[in-house]
Amino acid sequence: MRLYKATLTLILPLVCSRLSLAGDQQWVEVRSPNFSVITDAGERRGRDVALHFEQMRSVFGTLMTRANVNLPVPLQIVAFRSTKEIRQIAPMFNGKPTELAGLFQSGDDRNFIMLDMSVENPWYTVFHEYAHELMNGNISVRSDPWFEEGFAEYFAGIEVDSKEARVGKIPEQTYQVLQYSGFLKTADLLRVQQYSKTYNETGDHRNSFYAQSSLMVHYIYDNQLLPKVAEYFDALHFDKKTVEQAFQGAFGMSLEQFDKVLRQYYTGGRYRYYPIPTPPGIQAAQFTATPVTLADARAVLADIHAHSMDHRGQALGEFEDVLKTDPNNAAALRGAGYSCLMAQDFDKAADYFQRAVARDSKDARVHYYYAMLMSRQGSVGDKARTDELKKELETAIALDPKLADAYSLLGYAQVYSGEPEKGLATMKLAVELSPRNEGYQFNLASAYLGNNKVDEAIAIFQALAASSNPEVATHASAALRQAQDFKKRGLEFRMEAESSDSGTPEPHNKLEPPGLVARSTTADTSSDTATTVVTLPPSAPIHFLKGKLKSVDCSAGPQGVLILASGSKTLKLYVKDTAHVIIIGADQFSCDWKGISVAVNYREREDGDGDVVSVEVQ
């Protein structure tokens, strides 16, 4: 994650309520084998942008020795001809748009990359985030932050032109940061996690973490040690070795010895810098280019706003502005429906989606959104509506076979409509497309249980119980205990049956596996043989905030509300169950907390407040 990732910015509204685009500028869409670039900077620049991304995609396959390179979430690239235009979609800070040359904005169903083509180098930030997305789509096991961020920095520093990509150069900034901020001990670097202060707070330690992680990955690639990294993470996460034991076993040296080795690498100033030729099948001249109307361009930018924390409140009005001049604009109809769906205005969303399908029946996103709408309306369980939901998802998948979310929702619907084997197979496809999505993994494990494949389920729950996301780890640990108990009781049940005279157990003794965990369900503890059904942690990011607790409201127990003051703003942060929230630095949650300093991990709500993941008392 980098400073300019949209999901990490402060939440402040735009003063302007509609997009302003130069009407006399011609927009064009350039399509390459794997990317779509929409730009008003001219067709030549659009082809250049598409070529850059095709080359970087190819380089990733070389670095990670993968034949197929997937993205778990569809990507739209928008290249602006001027800084003025990109400022309209930039994240806000202190009421003003952030100055940036490139922006990566992530979402559950759609990712966006925005570039300012008027600056010299708009690539670094977006390629850093693009590396993360490529890793999410291709590497099943999530490694620790030092390698994730170090590789993303290594990847972002690759230089590209029309002939080749030049890989391995250590940016001068890396040397400067380490010279100014100093080195961390390798033992401390390896222990940094997503929730650590070093990872979340700005300052010298965070700068050193990024720079030193980058330097360490450069050292690993220069010395062809990537297999050793795999050994290290296997020993650490699966064999449960300590950091010291895992490192010594994988690299053949202690952490203290490696401290000296890395400093020698740094002071030597030498690195392996080599070219990778552009694959012969990737030529900018072969890409297609088609004109884009101003209405369609406005719809794309409104879609960016619809997926942005800072601007989503104005998106519906922007879509409706497009529809005033072009009532049948398919992209605006789809986007307006999505905005209404997110605001839980289901009737209005359904109307927009139906109009969008009538205008463009080949749009996979419309069919997926309409299925999502039906699932949120509680259609799963009603046979006719479930059949319609599944049909919409099957259509979406036929139109876009890489739409991972559609597979996940379809698998869920299949399991609950009496097709457990189909559901299991479909959920496996979702995990193959997005192997790091822990929500998909959780549901896959539950589907395994539904098919009486208990050992496979337990293996997944065990891996998720070690997740760096505390919310995922908590849910997985509970599910793991229940799955293990189910297995134990199943064994006892079979032993009882085998020892009985008839060999046939009584019907009332029949065991059923724990149920599937749905993305939108609520707790259900009606049966002691069923897994507690919880809301799966969404894939939206966890935000980090420090401040002073003004008060805690526990009047609606078991829920609690933290009133947190941070700088000039005050947030309400909701705790679903005060007896089961993750607390660090205190024995338990207290409704009497007041005036104390805390650090909170939370997920943002539509109104700007949040739902608490964990609280650290400081």
Reported as a single tens digit per residue, the pLDDT across 509-540 is: 334 444 444 443 333 333 333 333 333 334 44
Q: What percent of the chain has pLDDT over 90?
A: 37
d(CA 273, CA 171): 12
Give me the sheet containing 102-105, strands edge to edge.
102-105, 111-116, 75-80, 36-39, 27-31, 288-292
Greater model confidence, 523 or 252: 252
Q: What is the mean pLDDT of the chain?
A: 81
CA–CA gap between residue 209 and residue 211 (Å, rounded)? 6
Residues 364, 366: Cα–Cα separation, whole Å: 6
Please tell me the distance from the alpha carbon of residue 318 to that of residue 583, in angstroms, as a whole number. 42
* CA pair distance 427, 442, nearest whole angstrom: 10
- Whole-model pTM: value is 0.71
Q: Identify how many contiguous H helices and E strands the chain contains and give both numbers.
A: 22, 17
- Give the DSSP letter string of 309-331: TTTHHHHHHHHHHHHHH-TT-HH
331-357 tens-digit pLDDT: 999 999 999 998 889 999 999 999 999
Measured distance CA(54)–CA(49) in Å, rounded:
9
Question: Lowest-pLDDT range, 12-16, 81-85, 128-132, 536-540?
Answer: 12-16
Kindly calculate the radius of gyration of the chain based on its CA atoms and give it in whole angstroms.
Answer: 25
DSSP secondary structure, 65-84, as one string: T-S----SS-EEEEEESSHH
Give the integer Cα–Cα distance in Å for 141 and 148. 11
Work out the burial of residue 480: count CB atoms within 10 Å of its CB; fewer than 13 is exposed, 13-18 middle, 19 or more buried: buried
Contact in structure between 187 and 244 (CB atoms under 8 Å): yes
Alpha-carbon distances, residue 170 vs 138, 301, 318 (angstroms)? 25, 35, 43
* CA 16 – CA 314 distance, rounded (Å): 9
Neighbours of 606 (CB within 10 A): 11
543-617: CATH topology? OB fold (Dihydrolipoamide Acetyltransferase, E2P) (2.40.50)
Task: Return the half-sphere exposure (C-beta side, CA atoms, 13 A cut-off) of residue 212.
Answer: 29
Partnered with residue 80 across adjacent β-strands are: 116
Ranges for all domains in the chain classified under CATH 2.40.50.140: 543-617
* CB-CB contact of 598 with 549 (8 Å): yes
Among residues 117, 403, 159, the alpha carbon closest in space to that of 274 is found at 159
First to last CA, the chain: 25
Instruction: Decide if 159 contacts 138 (C-beta within 8 A).
Output: no
Q: How far apart are CA 268 and CA 266, in angstroms?
A: 5
CB-based contact 465:477 (threshold 8 Å): yes
415 versus 329: the higher-pLDDT residue is: 329
The percent of residues in the chain predicted with pLDDT above 70, rounded, is 82
- Phi, psi angles (nearest 5°) of residue 564: -115, 125
Angle of helix 330-342 relative to helix 364-376, nearest 10 degrees, comes to 20
pLDDT number for residue 31: 94
- Between 90-104, 127-141, 281-295, 300-314, the lowest mean confidence (pLDDT) is in 90-104
For the cut 80, the answer to whether the pLDDT of residue 306 exceeds it is: yes
Contact of 102 with 64, CB cutoff 8 Å:
no
Mean pLDDT of 115-143: 83
Is residue 39 predicted with pLDDT exceeding 90? yes
- For the segment 21-25, the average pLDDT, to the nearest whole number, is 53
Tell me the two tokens of residue 577: 């169950």
Q: How many Cβ atoms from other residues are within 10 Å of residue 42's Cβ?
A: 16
Q: What is the mean pLDDT of residues 124-130?
A: 86
| Residue 209 identity (one-letter amino acid) | F
Q: Which pLDDT score is estimated for 106?
A: 79
